[in-house]
Amino acid sequence: AIAQALSFAAFIFVGFIVDRLGSLKALSLALACEGLTILTLASLAHIKSNPYLGYIVISIYAASTILSAQDQVASDRMLIDISKSSIRGATIASLACLALITRAFGPLFMPFFWTHPPIFIAFIAALYIAGSMIVHYAYRRK
């Protein structure tokens, strides 16, 4: 419930950040920071005795929730900016379908990732960081 409330609140104010930075820069920043939060969270798995570990994990998860809202708003704004109004809905729906493809194939790879969680977490973080670099490069060319 707290995560959902935080997500709700994040969507209210990240739009202002996206408008101020521009959609590509905001998306690039959000993806890079999401990758870093995932790597940070993965590194905490090795800590055994820290009385504040729960608070640290919750804080990192909260940051990830806010960054996720920012990347969603920035990518939607980017699509609105670059697509024709007559096909905007189809464009956004197509991107959503592409995002859902990963969920369709996830269960096929889950047995491997379940037995090797650090590899899985590092792989996901690398995807976020690579995506950030691609978006950043696209922004610089614009």
Confidence of residue 62 (pLDDT cuts 50, 70, 90): confident
Nearest CA among 128, 100, 117 for reference residue 37 = 128
Write out the DSSP string of 112-125.
HHHH-HHHHHHHHH
Residue type for position 29: L
pLDDT of res. 75 = 85
Nearest CA among 34, 44, 46 for reference residue 131 = 34
In this prediction the pTM is 0.70
The pLDDT tens digits of the residues spanning 89-117 come to 887 777 777 666 656 666 676 677 677 77
